[in-house]
Structure 1
């Protein structure tokens, strides 16, 4: 049930929670029902206290180890979208390495998610990636990294072709990896007991550390695009 504006204001104790308040999850569950500027205006202080400030604090604590974070804006760009709802259904934080690569964490209606890898690509990056995966030594390194992540409970995803790339034989030993245009590892934590505690920092750090070899592989063998930046 959606709270009325009078009861949906920020909990004054939310900012004192050392982790991410469960109210952040509730906030996005309610936003899914009432994604409007009117609802957001009535709940903007709650968003700041329960969502943005805890996520920004989490990112700040991890900055020295992983890099400078970017806390995404809550507004959606609806100019070219059929979906005209004005606000995103989650709050994300991204720590970039090379172009379109890095670590990610978000909170939304389903709870906490961590991720890492390269989430978008240009044609030259896809070419570098596939040439590397096709190489027996370098490709097997990636296969080992992916299998380790899978064994540790991560999901492997990305933009994947429905068929095999042109020129790649059907019996290629790394065919599934060659079908990728992007490659990410994710873990959905949901709403565990430790979400509201400072343990959330350790859990995100643990996930990001586990993803580091994948990101370093992408840095070395995919790299940034040499194409001019799109305007």
Structure 2
């Protein structure tokens, strides 16, 4: 088997592919433009993940198809290509490319209510909760955005004036940095940017690994 092609950046065609897909999200359009997807999106993403594997581990490339079984939106294809480097089903490092450009980050998704309970217990505990707040403050200073499903009210069993109530409202917690579509996206610098982003997220990854496990 031939070695993978070295990562050279995401070409402009990757962004224009998704910009047009947003307007013409159909099976016929996809089949007509599948070669562009393979060339401009899938192959560069695989090359990027291959270049990062030694430091962060193997990645899962998400399928381009949407699961529309329980959705009112029946568009058949995702309007971005994402990939996850994970230590299990609940946490990892994430990267995606779309019409808006490059996004990267990490954190955890709740695999079950038990995952959320363990997360909140660790946030509630003074030592681990304070440690997480320091990690999140540092990420906030670096321009990361916090994402993930959360409740608007006070979670059952916790006081409304808890010092970490905003974090306790999370059922899951991810942080992302949107890099947009600068000129360097089409160069090898994109690899350095994703690597640096994941390194910055590593303290959150380590906290989640320690307190939630990797189930």
* TM bracket (short chain): over 0.9
Once the two structures are superposed, what CA deviation does each residue of 1:70-94 show, in whole Å capped at 9, x if it has no partner?
1111111222222111111100111
What is the alpha-carbon distance in structure 2 between the residues aligned to residue 166 and residue 37 of structure 1?
45
* Cross-structure match for 2:172: 182
Query: Is 1:171 equivalent to 2:161 in the alignment?
Result: yes
Q: CA deviation at 1:119?
A: 2.1
Tell me what 1:127 maps to.
Answer: 117
Q: Which one of the candidate residues 136, 143, 147 is aligned to 2:126?
A: 136
For residue 171 of structure 1, report the CA deviation from its aligned partner.
1.5
Asked whether the 8 Å contact 2:91–2:107 carries over to 1, the reply is: yes
Is 1:69 equivalent to 2:59 in the alignment?
yes
The DSSP-based 3-state class of the residue aligned with 1:176 is helix
**Structure 2 counterparts to residues 94-113 of structure 1, below 5 A:** 94-113=84-103
Name segments (4+ residues, structure 1) moved above 2 Å: none
Q: Where does structure 1 lack aligned partners over 5 or more consecutive residues? A: 1-14, 226-231
Asked if the contact 2:110/2:116 (under 8 Å) is kept, the reply is no
Q: 1:169 to 1:17 in 2, by over 3 A?
A: closer
Distance 2:114 2:67 in 1: 27
Q: Is the 8 Å Cα contact of residues 100 and 118 (structure 1) preserved in structure 2?
A: yes
Q: Structure 2 length as normaliser, TM-score?
A: 0.94
Q: Please say if residues 124 and 168 of structure 2, whose CA atoms lie closer than 8 Å, have aligned partners that are also in contact.
A: yes
Please give the root-mean-square deviation of Cα atoms over the aligned residues, in Å: 1.4
Q: Give the superposition deviation at 1:126.
A: 1.1
Tell me the secondary structure at the aligned position of residue 156 of structure 1. Answer: strand
Contact 2:52 2:195 (C-alpha < 8 Å) held by counterparts: yes
Report which of the two structures shows the higher radius of gyration computed on alpha carbons: 1
- Post-superposition CA distance 1:90-147 (Å, at most 9, x none): 0011111132210110011111100200023311111111111111111000000000
Aligned residues: 211
